[in-house]
Structure 1
Amino acid sequence: MQRPRFELPEALVMEILSKLPVKSLTRFNCVCKYWCSSFQTPHFISNNYHNNLQNNNLNLLLSRCDGNTFQPYFSQLSTEKDQNYIVKQNIHLPFFKNDTPSLYGACHGLMCLLDPSKDKAAIWNPSTREFKILPPSSIQRPPYFSPFEETYLTLDDVEFYHAAFGFDSKTDDYKVIRFVSLTFVNSEEEHPHPHSMYQVELYSLRSNSWKEIPYPEYTPTYTTLGNIYVDGICYWKTETGAYLDFRGLILSFDMGNEKFSILPIPEFVGSFPEYYVDLLVFNGSLGAIVYPSERIDTSFDLWVTSEGVWTKQFNIKSISGVVHPLGFGKNGDLFVRDTNNEVLLFDASTQELKELEINTYLDHIWAVITLHAYFESLVHINGVQEVEKHVIRQPTRDASNEY
């Protein structure tokens, strides 16, 4: 006797599939046209992403640069403690070959890469390997008139820095903001004195174009760890006053109304220059790691803000040899860099410092080593697919010396 055929409702099948990793869903695109088209619907993409959030399926990327070849690459780390955060694979990005891009994000599983010395940027989905190279800036660079030299100066250099990447829920649009520094000189002088002007540019994925927005009163500083985007707002640390009258502030930008604002840094951070303050995102909220500038037996305080109220989460006391925090993994584990440029892990549950199986002896450019956390996403950016040959898989050990 033939058994009756049992079929699950399509809605239930889609619900089950939405709980799977992006890598599995990519394979299942070939099962049937219905599945392939369903995986691209906003409803399925949203369900899959929120399932990853709910299950805390955090992914970690270590941004690095080979000190011999100066080639940028990213090491994807395992997030399972029993694997001791080993490197699963190294990823090279061909569209930034011979450049050293900075990585910004993540937002809905997407990241932005920006070359500070060139008008070169891209949006990247590390889960689907899709990337979109952004168009060059169309912003006018006005001539600079020097009242002291009574002449117009020549544009000598353009730099792009302090970028941020986020989502505008009002228009359902992903945006990139970056600060631009323009350097002008008198080309007729043998040793010209440089003059600077500043701009802010905003990119819209929906329009695929850049536009200039008003420059804020304050300029960001380089003290953020990984992502600085929370619920439609981007954050940077800034400052005002002279050395002895220094005052730290937080500069914010609303992706929706495209306006800058200033927030105070509370008194808890201590006085400058005895303490450093690095901004980061911790469990979906804006946080600040505060640590002394004296780099022997460094201790760390983590503060998190909610509706403008800062609360101290925990204190890590006297980690010998650690010089800089990199960011957090799962369950409050803190990644740090020591005096030998090694990446270590402070286990919050055991209060122990662990060496990781990550070879950093080739990463001589220590400033490039940054940690980025993201959740997998199927979000499409109308880009192109990254070539698989640029992914070097290392299931058991690091491959930073195997190029």
Structure 2
Amino acid sequence: MQMARIELPEALVMEILSKLPVKSLIRFNCVCKYWCSSFQIPHFIFKHYHNNLENNNLNLLLRRHDGNTFQPYLSQLSNEKDQKDLVKQNIHLPFFKNAIPSVYGACHGLLCLQEPSTDKAALWNPSTREFKILPPSSIQRPPYLSPMEGNLALYGVSFDHAALGFDSKTNDYKVIRFVSFIYYHSPFVTRTFVNIEEEQRYAYPHYEFQVELYSSRSDSWKELPCPLYTPTDLILGNNYVDGICYWKTMTEAYLGLILLFDLANQKFSILPFPEITGSCLHYYDNILMFNGSLSVIVCLLEGTGMSFDLWVTSEGAWTKQFSIESISGVLHPLGFGKNGELFLRDTNNEIVLFDLSTQELKELEINTYLDHFQESISLHAYVESLVRINGIQEHEKHIIRQLAGDASKKY
């Protein structure tokens, strides 16, 4: 006897599909034209993204630099709990050759890759494997400046402190970055100095800063007025939330401030750091995102150990979220994982995990002693999404994936 066929309402089918991983949805593109077209509708894309966001389905990437081949790469960490081999696969970036690209984002599952020494940048959706190379910078680079005290020759240009975000007002993904121009007095290279005072006068560099904004809708950059304060430190992981980009900056009086940029009105503003009280003078702080909110982590150095305070802001008011007592043998934090665990790099150049619920330190068997530029190791979290960037699929010229420990594929 043939069983009756049960037809599910299309709305229920789409609700079920919106809870599936991107990998499954890509396979289901060939089931029927309706499904394929539905997966490209903005309503379905954002419903799928927010389902992942609500379920805290974070994916983690470690930015690294191979000490033997000097090639930049990203280690993708497994989401499975108690996984013995936490590194799932390594993603190599031949598009950036020997440079270490900075990673910015994530925003709706997208990441921005930026090479600091050039204007080479790209948008990347690691879930759909779509990759888009951004156009060259539109900022003019004057070779000389002529202030009152002699000519200044351009020595170098640096592209740093980027942020990737979404402008809900124009439904546009945007990248903002700071461009640093480094000038030296032109006689410094060729001139024979009479005395030390004269040499010192010409030895110090002069910096000029500019800001440019990329729009994915126009696929172009435009220059913006530079704010009074410019970023001074790299952030931990993401520096964007709810239409606002954030950077750490410093005043002339060495007071910490947070620089804000509103993508919708394209305006800069500032926010004070939380007031650090207590007798400990040896500490440093940095900004990061915690549970979708702007946060500041304060690292207190106490002998061979390190303690941590996490501050979270709401409408400009700071509240201490929690404190972690002294942990011995750790160097600096990398960021937070799926369940609020704190990733750290220790004195043995290994990545370790501090569980907030059990207050225990766990070794992850991720050794970085062979990494080049160990100080540049960073942690980046993103949520899977179907957001399209009108790019191309990953290509070996740009990105190569291989299973961890698989040395069969050269790069």
Aligned mate of 1:204, from 185, 206, 215 = 215
Counterparts of 1:65 and 1:319 in 2: how far apart (Å)? 27
The alpha-carbon deviation at position 223 of structure 1 amounts to 4.3
Distance 1:72 1:47, change over 3 A: same
Match of 1:233 in 2: 244
Counterparts of 2:221 and 2:280 in 1: how far apart (Å)? 37
SS in 2 for 1:163: strand
Match of 1:159 in 2: 158
Counterparts of 1:99 and 1:148 in 2: how far apart (Å)? 35
Match of 1:55 in 2: 55
Q: Which amino acid aligns with 2:149?
A: F
Preserved contact between residue 368 and residue 374 of structure 2 (Cα < 8 Å) = no
Aligned mate of 1:358, from 354, 366, 391 = 366
Counterparts of 1:100 and 1:319 in 2: how far apart (Å)? 30
* Greater shift in the superposed pair: 331-340 or 380-389: 380-389
Counterparts of 1:141 and 1:269 in 2: how far apart (Å)? 44
The alpha-carbon deviation at position 186 of structure 1 amounts to 5.4
* Greater shift in the superposed pair: 23-32 or 2-11: 2-11
Distance 1:32 1:287, change over 3 A: same
Preserved contact between residue 269 and residue 275 of structure 1 (Cα < 8 Å) = no
Counterparts of 1:291 and 1:9 in 2: how far apart (Å)? 53
Q: CA RMSD in A?
A: 2.2
Normalising by the residue count of structure 2, what TM-score does the alignment of the two structures yield?
Answer: 0.90
Aligned mate of 1:390, from 386, 400, 403 = 400
Distance 1:378 1:271, change over 3 A: farther
Identity of aligned residues (%): 70
Preserved contact between residue 87 and residue 357 of structure 1 (Cα < 8 Å) = no
After superposition, what is the alpha-carbon deviation per residue over 1:125-160, rounded to whole angstroms, capped at 9, x for unaligned? 1111111100001122244113212x4x44331111
Preserved contact between residue 202 and residue 210 of structure 1 (Cα < 8 Å) = yes
Verify: 1:220 aligned to 2:231, yes or no.
Answer: yes
Counterparts of 1:270 and 1:256 in 2: how far apart (Å)? 39
Distance 1:100 1:93, change over 3 A: same
Match of 1:321 in 2: 329
Counterparts of 1:86 and 1:376 in 2: how far apart (Å)? 19
After superposition, what is the alpha-carbon deviation per residue over 1:169-214, rounded to whole angstroms, capped at 9, x for unaligned? 1001111111111123455651575433111111111111111111
Preserved contact between residue 138 and residue 223 of structure 2 (Cα < 8 Å) = no
Match of 1:76 in 2: 76
Match of 1:175 in 2: 174
Counterparts of 2:158 and 2:221 in 1: how far apart (Å)? 16
Distance 1:294 1:110, change over 3 A: same
Counterparts of 2:281 and 2:158 in 1: how far apart (Å)? 27
Verify: 1:298 aligned to 2:293, yes or no.
Answer: no
Counterparts of 1:373 and 1:269 in 2: how far apart (Å)? 31
The alpha-carbon deviation at position 366 of structure 1 amounts to 1.1
Which 5+ residue runs of structure 1 have no aligned equivalent? Answer: none
Counterparts of 2:70 and 2:281 in 1: how far apart (Å)? 33
Q: Which amino acid aligns with 1:299?
A: S
Q: Which amino acid aligns with 1:217?
A: L
Distance 1:84 1:2, change over 3 A: closer
* 1:6-21 → structure 2 map (5 Å cutoff): 6-21=6-21
Preserved contact between residue 203 and residue 209 of structure 1 (Cα < 8 Å) = yes
SS in 2 for 1:203: strand
Distance 1:339 1:402, change over 3 A: farther
* Greater shift in the superposed pair: 212-221 or 289-298: 289-298
Distance 1:320 1:399, change over 3 A: farther
Match of 1:247 in 2: 255
**Alignment length, in residue pairs?**
395
